[in-house]
Structure 1
Amino acid sequence: MNEKSEEFFRIMLDFLPSAEDEYRESIEYYGEVLETIIIERVFMPKIIKLLSEERNINLLESIFKYFEEVSNDEDAHLKNIFSITVLEILGNDRSILETAQKYMGTRTIQLQIEADRALGRI
């Protein structure tokens, strides 16, 4: 895992401290940090829940502001992991995606559309 990915996980744990135990359990179970597994199974269910409830607007705004930073980052590995996990998962449910788009920045929206196209979604 590169430095940018480590930073991503630290920041996500700051946003979602309730994910800390699951994060540690995943590392213990697999013996290492499997980036896509942790994002898909630990962080994204919590983000989807936040979006479906849409109660903690400040947290959603902060998370998606950070996602815009990731979307504009030069680190190709981080952007790829972000696209194939976070953005693809957001595109799995149109109502969740519509809610998420209210908080997404321009580059995040662009990457999400590209992620959908890569999966053959329109």
Structure 2
Amino acid sequence: MTSQSEAFMRKMLEFLPSTEASYRESIEFNGEVLETVIIESVFMPAFIELIRQEQNIDLLERIFEYFEEVSNDKDTHLINTFSITVLEILGNENNILRTAKKYMGPKTTKMQIEADKALGREV
């Protein structure tokens, strides 16, 4: 795991503190930090619920602002992990993606479209 990936995990815990226990349980169960597992099974369910409710607009804006920073990062490992977890999952449900697009920056939007195309989804 790169230092940028570690920073991503810390930032997600900061944004979604309710995921702390599940995050720790995943590490304990797997004996290590498995980035994709944690992002997909710990962070994303909480994040998807946040999008679904669309009540904490400030938090959504801050998370998507951070995602735009991530999308512009030079760390290829972080970019790849972000694309195959966060961005692919956002495209799983049309309603979620439609809401998420209201908050996405231009680079994040472009990467999300690319992630969908890579999965063979119509965009």
TM range (shorter): over 0.9
Tell me the residue number matched to 1:61. Answer: 61
CA distance in 2, matches of 1:35, 1:58: 26
Tell me the residue number matched to 1:32. Answer: 32
Matched position secondary structure for 1:52? helix
CA distance in 2, matches of 1:105, 1:61: 10
TM-score, normalised relative to structure 1: 0.99
Tell me the residue number matched to 1:7. Answer: 7
Overall identity of the aligned pairs, in %:
67
- Length, aligned pairs only: 122
Q: Please say if 1:72 is aligned against 2:72.
A: yes
Matched position secondary structure for 2:64? helix
Matched position secondary structure for 1:5? helix
Tell me the residue number matched to 1:102. Answer: 102
Aligned-CA RMSD value: 0.4
Deviation at 1:51, TM superposition (A): 0.5
TM-score, normalised relative to structure 2: 0.98
Runs of 4+ in 1 over 4 A off after TM superposition: none
Letter paired with 1:117:
K
Letter paired with 2:110:
Q
Letter paired with 2:59:
L
Deviation at 1:2, TM superposition (A): 1.0
CA distance in 1, matches of 2:33, 2:94: 30
CA distance in 2, matches of 1:34, 1:98: 29
